[in-house]
Copies of this chain bind each other. A is one copy, B any other.
Amino acid sequence: MTSSPPLVPPPRLLMGPGPITAHPRVLQAMSQQLVGQFDPAMTGWMNDTMDLYRRVFRTANEQTFLVDGTSRAGIEAALVSLLEPGDRLLVPVFGRFGHLLREIGERCGAEVHTIERPWGEVFDVEEITSAVARVRPKVLALVQGDTSTTMNQPLAGLAEALAGDDVIVYCDATASLGGNELATDAWGLDVVTAGLQKCLGGPSGSAPITVSPRAVELVQGRRHVEAGIREDRDTARGTRIASNYLDLAMLIDYWGPRRLNHHTEATTMLYGARECARVLLDEGLDESVERHRLHGAAMLAGVQGLGLSVFGDQAHKMHNVVAVEIPDGVDGDAVRAGMLTDYGIEIGTSFGPLHGRVWRIGTMGWNARRDAVLTTLATLEQVLREAGAAVTAGGGTGAAREVYAG
């Protein structure tokens, strides 16, 4: 017998920057029994999932599917498949995840150029387009919503401004998708990736991706078929993609009508990803964004109503997360521990230059809800008072209620 006990998760309300509490429908879907990899039921669900995510990403891209890994696997699949060693990559960096794009680009052997904004700010579209004109990159890689700073980079108008350039635009929408507007085709984004653990209300472990026809063409130019699968192995074309697991050309063959064996699709994660999209589309994309806007506004008003300050350019904050400055003299980690221990509520810490300076409080997915917002504010008031902070009694829930009252 094992010494470890059965898994009984403690009750938690996850109000950090993600992962967040999963939607019950998603967990129900993920408890379903498996079918075979090429079962007609399975390939039907794969096709169905492609269609659902086309709607989620607002795209007509045929090549819209899942990468079997966390959101970071989706990012790396995009960059390693698009970039050959020596290719120029431009990354506008305004938080931790911009650094990640730069880092992955470097590992791909790309010549990486960055422009940077201080944490808490975003770029003007003109700053990006002028950098593109200067650097002339093959790929422009951008984060839409960077949870490290809570900022949401405006992307509308970028493609029109870049129309004369031949740059492939990649966007990491992990933190923003479902809670903030994203229009892949209307905005001219070539490749967009996401994860389930933010506004989609699922667990980490599956990365939806969409790839435009011209990005597919680029990737297919580097396509190789694995030995031992078929006798008619393709001969080399272009520089082979450095990863097998994250090779988008092979993933396209696997998800497409050829169904060419690659990895064994992570069935349970597919069930979860499919249900995340169904939950979102049942509500409606616009309705989900509006819900995230409302509850994000209530949380923002609430923390301000408690007397706390917030970090960053609030005009460009994502709807689904707010960075709250830790008051002087208050131990940020002790407050987080108090929230978790006494109330079962998780709020987030932060990274890099913001470490120890802000908490990050999320209102996303299933937890972008009135009771979740009000409970977090009510309990945060108690914990802050116990920590010796000056807080306005009832100021948090009161301000949030005012937002809800319109």
Binding site for B on A (CB under 8 A): 1-2, 4, 6-10, 12, 14, 16, 18-22, 27-39, 41, 45, 48, 51-52, 68-73, 76, 80, 95-100, 102-104, 106-109, 148, 195, 197, 203-205, 226-231, 240-246, 261-269, 271-272, 274-275, 277-278, 281-282, 340, 346, 349, 351-353, 355
Say whether B41 contacts A9, CB under 8 Å: yes
Choose one: B6, B36, B106, B272; the contact of A12 (CB below 8 Å).
Answer: B36
- C-alpha gap A103/B406 in the complex (Å): 60
When C-beta atoms are compared, the residue in chain B nearest to A280 turns out to be B2
- C-alpha gap A26/B266 in the complex (Å): 14
Choose one: B30, B107, B204; the contact of A241 (CB below 8 Å).
Answer: B107
Say whether B266 contacts A268, CB under 8 Å: no
- C-alpha gap A353/B246 in the complex (Å): 26
- C-alpha gap A37/B349 in the complex (Å): 11
When C-beta atoms are compared, the residue in chain B nearest to A109 turns out to be B242
Known contacts A68-B73, A69-B245; A226/B41 CB under 8 A? no
How many copies of the polypeptide does the oligomer hold? Answer: 2
Say whether A10 contacts B35, CB under 8 Å: yes
Residue of A68, A97, A281 most packed against chain B (CB within 10 A): A68
Known contacts A19-B37, A76-B244; A226/B99 CB under 8 A? yes
Choose one: B34, B103, B231, B272; the contact of A9 (CB below 8 Å).
Answer: B34
- Show 24 A/B contacts (Cβ-Cβ < 8 Å), sorted by A: A1-B281, A7-B29, A7-B275, A9-B41, A12-B39, A14-B36, A19-B34, A19-B37, A22-B268, A30-B30, A30-B31, A35-B346, A71-B263, A71-B264, A76-B243, A80-B243, A98-B228, A103-B244, A107-B244, A108-B242, A109-B242, A230-B352, A230-B355, A266-B269
Q: What residues of chain B lie closer than 8 Å to A266, measured between beta carbons?
A: 69-70, 203-205, 269
Minimum Cβ distance to chain B for residue A36 (Å): 4
- C-alpha gap A102/B52 in the complex (Å): 36
When C-beta atoms are compared, the residue in chain B nearest to A278 turns out to be B2
Say whether B351 contacts A229, CB under 8 Å: yes
Say whether A76 contacts B245, CB under 8 Å: yes
Say whether B31 contacts A14, CB under 8 Å: no
Minimum Cβ distance to chain B for residue A228 (Å): 4
When C-beta atoms are compared, the residue in chain B nearest to A76 turns out to be B245
- C-alpha gap A20/B264 in the complex (Å): 11
Known contacts A30-B31, A76-B244, A261-B351; A99/B267 CB under 8 A? no
Q: What residues of chain B lie closer than 8 Å to A275, measured between beta carbons?
A: 7
Q: What residues of chain B lie closer than 8 Å to A346, measured between beta carbons?
A: 35-36, 39
- C-alpha gap A269/B22 in the complex (Å): 14
Known contacts A27-B32, A278-B4, A352-B230; A240/B12 CB under 8 A? no
Q: What residues of chain B lie closer than 8 Å to A349, measured between beta carbons?
A: 38
Say whether A229 contacts B36, CB under 8 Å: no
